[in-house]
């Protein structure tokens, strides 16, 4: 199947795939973006690239008409979060992550006021399972229960979207309803190495379970042909009802 060659309208299937630019330099990120070309419309910049010139690169991508997700996973005292979010809101990004702690989410909602930035709350990292939560000091609780609790708090505090594993997407949808976004990392095309991810599903399964956007980094940016990897995922999710 050939993919559309123009940026496409809102609702473009390509927007469902957020490509994580987990790379050490802007030069390498720019090379991957150039290779992917019009197959990719939505990019995520996280710690590795953000602290290596990634903010200026985010603006470069936005200038080219790409959407940008700044994955900064903010968590600090309320005032610091609020002012940090206010600064990020000026960059023109589409999404920003914060950890799903009530004080943090409350401050982020205040900080983004008046901008088009959407705040995503990271519930329980997809590299965590129930044992990791115990190791981190939580009373024994299934990760899925904590995800649901945090999703409910995020909904009540006016957060725009939830980051969770796709394995919890159906439960989160029941909590947050249809007007909040669900964004799921921990996605692995069949046969791909899970790496440090613990709660993983395939791209098609992620969309079937109700994700609005999938986040995929290593299986694309480390692929011999990143464009082919993107096209294969977009092809896999095309036509699946979210
Ligand atoms: O907020 C995120 O994007 C995120 C949350 C989470 O729970 N798990 C998670 O993997 N991520 C990010 O999603 C990306 C997944 O990368 P890959 O495992 O290489 O596809 C990384 O950039 C992570 O930082």
> pLDDT for 1-41, tens place per residue?
333 333 344 579 999 999 999 999 999 999 999 999 999 99
Do residues 149 and 164 lie in contact, with contact meaning Cβ atoms separated by under 8 Å?
A: no
Q: Tell whether 191 is in a known binding site.
A: no
Question: What pLDDT does residue 171 have?
Answer: 98
Q: Is 198 a known active-site residue?
A: no
Q: Is the CB of 216 under 6 A from ligand 1?
A: yes
Element (H, E) at 58: helix 55-63
**Ligand 1 atom 13, closest CA:** 185
Domain assignment present for 43 = yes
Those residues with Cβ within 8 angstroms of residue 222's Cβ, 6 or more apart along the chain or in another chain: none
Is position 53 within any domain? yes
Residue 2 falls inside a structural domain: no
64 in a structural domain: yes
pLDDT at 6: 35
Q: Does some domain include residue 156?
A: yes
Residue of 17, 217, 222 to test ligand 1 pocket, by largest number of atoms within 8 Å of CB: 217
**Using CA atoms, how far apart are residues 117 and 91, in angstroms rounded to an integer?**
9
Pairing of the two strands 17-20 and 95-99: unpaired
Residue 5 lies in a domain: no
Angle of CA points 77, 80, 82, to nearest 5°: 105
How many C-beta neighbours within 10 Å does residue 154 have?
Answer: 29
Atom number in ligand 1 closest to CA 216 = 20
| Domain membership flag for residue 47 | yes
Number of domains in the chain: 1
CB atoms within 10 A of CB 61: 21
**Residue range of the domain that includes 212:** 13-237
CATH (domain of 226): 3.20.20.70
Q: Is 22 annotated as a binding residue?
A: yes
pLDDT at residue 241 in the model: 58
């Amino acid at each position: 199947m050939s993919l559309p060659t123009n940026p496409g309208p809102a609702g473009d299937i390509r927007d469902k795939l957020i490509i994580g630019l987990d790379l050490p330099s802007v030069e390498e990120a720019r090379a991957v973006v150039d290779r992917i070309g019009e197959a990719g419309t939505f990019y995520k910049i996280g710690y590795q690239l953000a602290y290596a010139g990634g903010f200026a690169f985010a603006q470069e991508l936005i200038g080219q008409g790409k959407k940008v997700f700044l994955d900064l996973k903010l968590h600090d005292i309320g005032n610091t979060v609020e002012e940090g979010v206010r600064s990020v809101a000026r960059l023109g990004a589409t999404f920003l992550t914060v950890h799903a702690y009530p004080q943090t989410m409350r401050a982020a909602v205040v900080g983004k006021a008046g901008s088009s930035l959407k705040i995503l709350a990271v519930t329980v990292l997809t590299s965590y399972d129930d044992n990791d939560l115990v190791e981190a000091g939580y009373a024994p609780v299934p990760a899925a229960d904590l995800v649901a609790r945090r999703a409910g708090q995020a909904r009540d505090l006016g957060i725009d979207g939830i980051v969770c594993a796709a394995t919890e997407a159906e439960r989160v949808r029941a909590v947050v309803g249809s007007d909040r976004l669900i964004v799921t990392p921990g996605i692995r095309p069949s046969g791909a190495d899970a790496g440090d991810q613990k709660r993983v599903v395939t791209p098609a399964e992620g969309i079937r379970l109700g994700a609005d956007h999938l986040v995929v980094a290593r299986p694309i940016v480390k692929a011999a042909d990143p464009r082919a990897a993107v096209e294969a995922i977009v092809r896999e999710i095309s036509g699946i009802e979210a």
